[in-house]
Amino acid sequence: MWLLRGFPAFSASSGLCLNKTKTDIYFNGMPGTTMANILQVSSFRKGTLPFRYLGVPISSKKLSKNECSKLTERIVAKIRSWGTRHLSYAGRLVLVNSVLTTIHTYWANIFLIPNGIMNKIDSICRNFLWSGKDSYARAPNVNWKTCCTPKEEGGLGIKNLKEWNKALLGKYTWWLAAKKDHLWVRWVNHVYMKSGDWHDYTAPLDCSWSWKKIIQVKESFKAAYVGSQWLNQNKPYTVDAGYQWIRSPATKVQWRYTCWNSLNIPKTSFIYWASKLERLLIRDRIARMGFGQETTCYLCEDGTETHHHLFYECEFSKQCISILQQRLCIKFPPQSFDQWCASGRGKSKLQRKVISACVVGLAYEIWHARNIARLQQQVCRPDILVCRIVTNVKHRWSKNNHSTLQQRHKVWMDNLG
């Protein structure tokens, strides 16, 4: 009754009026006569759980897949709105990273999303990346676990959504460990913690599902909380730091500097990435998958078409590499280029970036020429192919950089052609 008396006072001070036709009241553990009296006095409707508040399902029990289906429906709707566009792999990757994997963030900030829904979201994103559709249309070239590793470790930088969800919830456990002055922290301490030790606390059997999941997340971060500090540093907890803590780091790949150079055209970086992992659908790989028997190289018609042959040993590729080396005034075995680029010996930062972009562009153009030869039985001239690579790199540099070149760099860029 005290709450009902507070509504008129709130309306008088704020000017906001209560709409009884849009207001529900929820009961828990009350006798039927008490509930009937409250409904009669308030004129509110009796609500039932679960209900939606600001688009999020509110429930005292574990959320079912059906209750979370709205999340996957929003992601599918986004993909279908892009269905008429002809997007490259790189274009789809940008949409996966910037749109699809962030739609769930609002929900993931509030509760631990069921594994079934997270697996469904992963499946939708994977299908869109490799086929442009929300449903399964073709087998992916690279497994999703590899795609969800950072670029410097050989992946595509897509977030692992399950681990990102835990990192988002980690801020609640950090508030409790650091004893932040929040109303929610006070309430939890009063209802659950009873002023006990947070590090040794275990959830009681009769607590809510949401609280059990927060305690489950707490166990994942327990070793990182040193007293009231994060990783024994004078720095607060951040979601990105929590994500890096909870995931399993891998060895950094040497070709990361070449593949993800800022001067690269995105679609060329994607093909170069797939070639480094040897996941392009070349003839030898298709034959090993059981979908064909012919393995002869399309470009030179001499030798088995493997990744190594196509990009390094094919006569067509050798001619392209030789012409490009002359244009760039460099000489080294193509297989050791990534090591040379990482060391940066003998060239300035600008020169290394331009050379890297040309090498990545060469891999893309060789792959493109191979596909043209497969479909149209025509092979492009190597000098025309190399000229196109250098022109594209110089054009991209001119569009993305407006600083004045040093004289030696200007001469070097002009000599490229």
pLDDT tens string for the chain (417 positions)? 666 777 777 778 878 777 777 778 877 777 878 888 887 777 778 877 777 777 777 776 777 777 788 889 999 999 988 875 788 999 999 999 999 988 888 888 888 888 888 999 999 999 999 998 888 888 899 999 999 999 999 999 999 999 999 999 888 888 887 777 888 888 888 878 777 777 778 888 878 778 888 888 888 888 887 766 787 777 778 889 889 888 888 889 988 888 998 889 999 999 999 999 999 999 999 998 888 888 999 999 888 999 999 998 899 999 998 998 888 877 766 666 666 666 656 577 788 888 889 989 999 999 999 999 999 988 889 999 999 999 998 888 877 765 666 777 777 777 776
Closest to 338 (Cα-Cα) out of 397, 243, 272:
272
Helices of type H across 115-238: 115-131, 144-147, 161-178, 183-188, 209-221
What pLDDT does residue 309 have?
Answer: 93
What pLDDT does residue 227 have?
Answer: 65
Compute CA distances 350 → 270, 347, 353, 405, 413, whole Å.
Answer: 22, 8, 5, 10, 10
What pLDDT does residue 329 have?
Answer: 79
What pLDDT does residue 44 have?
Answer: 79
Question: What is the domain partition of the chain in residue ranges?
Answer: 2-48, 69-159, 164-246, 256-415
Query: Which structure tokens are listed for 269?
Result: 């970086």
Contact in structure between 118 and 161 (CB atoms under 8 Å): yes
What pLDDT does residue 388 have?
Answer: 93
Q: How many CB atoms lie within 10 A of CB 406?
A: 11
What pLDDT does residue 334 have?
Answer: 65
What pLDDT does residue 232 have?
Answer: 73
What pTM was computed for the model?
Answer: 0.83
